[in-house]
Amino acid sequence: MDTTKLEHLFSTLDQAVLLLQEELDVSYIEALAETIQNIAYDNQAQQMDGLPSEETVKQLNRLYRQLKLNEESREVTHKLLQLSYIKAIKEDKIQVNHQITPDTIASLIAYFTAVVLGDNKEAIHVHDLAVGTGNLLSVVMEALEGKGKSVTAELVDNDDLLISLASNGLHLQGWGENVQFTHSDSLQELLIQPADLAVSDLPVGYYPVDDRAKKFQTSFKEGHSFAHYLLIEQHLKYLKEGGWGVFIVPKDLFESDNQGVLMKWLKGAGYLQAMLHLPQTLFQSEKIQKSIVMIQKKGNGSKQAKQVLLANMPDLKDARRMKEFLENFNNWREKML
């Protein structure tokens, strides 16, 4: 990729965002969301109640035309959006649950999902019920399409700003009608089609609506329940039998299950096939270290792996050890599933 070109595109996009931010007196990420929406739909700045001013609209439209994102590759657009999200995180000091999934981690999930799905299906329908900005989903879809698969997706998030960033960002990357979005609490009943694959970087914390949580087997008897437990259960509910759920979770996902609700539910609903601990070097402290958990829903011939894959991933910069790790993963897939 031409880094000079990418820097120029980012500079132009950043100018447009800053111009709109100053005019509307909003946060960087709010101005970014509106900017991406404007570019996604005919490169035209939208006015409401006289804002932004006519002069600012002209300046914005001029900057939008300079970007010419409709002429750029999906890879360039993806990288441009990622740079913009990263700046928004720094500028607005965005909370952890709203930050993007780094491409390094998203690419690993894309690799693992492609391996376990194999060549059995030509058409893959994907869910992410906590889609955020859509960075993880876009990387996974791109990888599956690169394997010759026809990919569609249904995505849900309860944050209107994030769902706007995801929907318009994926539109700019050329996914168009292949992707459908729902702005909703992901733990409500959802009108979505059963999926072959669920991927999600799960938000971690407590879910505040106890009455709704009680409908889930992974809820706690007293107090608030873990949102990430409930979301794992919800994702599997909307999977096809034999479908895969691949989630980014806290490393202590099962150790923190003091009441045993997650494992009890999982024994009846699916198979824990793999738990891959991401390198600690990717995180500021061991307390916030994450893992990739791979769960297969029961039915349609699925079965428990002969040996659950429990592994610590090597430093991603260590090319030799990473190559060995991926080879071991492939061998596990062939022999154990």
pLDDT score at 119: 83
Q: Is the pLDDT of residue 308 over 80?
A: yes
Give the model confidence (pLDDT) of 254-300 as tens digits: 999 888 999 999 999 999 999 999 999 998 888 889 999 999 999 99
Residues 123, 127, 133, 139, CA torsion sign: negative
Q: Is the pLDDT of residue 91 over 80?
A: yes
Give the model confidence (pLDDT) of 7-17 as tens digits: 999 999 999 99
Give the model confidence (pLDDT) of 218-253 as tens digits: 999 999 999 999 999 999 999 999 999 999 999 999
Give, in degrees to the nearest 5, the angle at Cα 194 between 190 and 197: 110
- Domain at 3-94, CATH class: mainly alpha
Q: How far is residue 163's CA from residue 166's CA, in Å, rounded to a whole number?
A: 5
Give the model confidence (pLDDT) of 51-68 as tens digits: 999 999 999 999 999 999
Domain boundaries of the chain, sorted by first residue: 3-94, 97-336
Cross-strand partners of 201: 248
The β-bridge relationship of strands 290-297 and 239-250 is antiparallel
Q: Quick one: pLDDT band at residue 327, thresholds 50, 70, 90?
A: very high
pLDDT score at 1: 66
97-336 — its CATH code? 3.40.50.150
Backbone angles phi, psi at 309, to 5 degrees: -85, 105
Q: How many angstroms separate the most distant Cα atoms in the chain?
A: 66
pTM for the full predicted model: 0.95
Q: Is the pLDDT of residue 35 over 80?
A: yes
> Stretch 205-212: mean pLDDT, rounded?
97
> Stretch 206-213: mean pLDDT, rounded?
97
Q: Residue with structure tokens 């150790």?
A: 255
Q: Mean pLDDT across the chain, nearest whole number?
A: 95
Residue 123 and residue 150 in contact, taking contact as beta carbons nearer than 8 Å = yes
Give, in degrees to the nearest 5, the angle at Cα 140 between 332 and 245: 55
Between residues 193 and 259, the one the model is more confident about: 193
* Neighbour tally for 86: CB within 10 Å: 13
Q: How far is residue 175's CA from residue 162's CA, in Å, rounded to a whole number?
A: 17
- In order, the DSSP letters of 169-196 are HHHHTT-GGGEEEEES-TTS------EE
Q: Is the pLDDT of residue 2 over 90?
A: no
Give the model confidence (pLDDT) of 98-122 as tens digits: 889 999 999 999 999 999 999 877 8
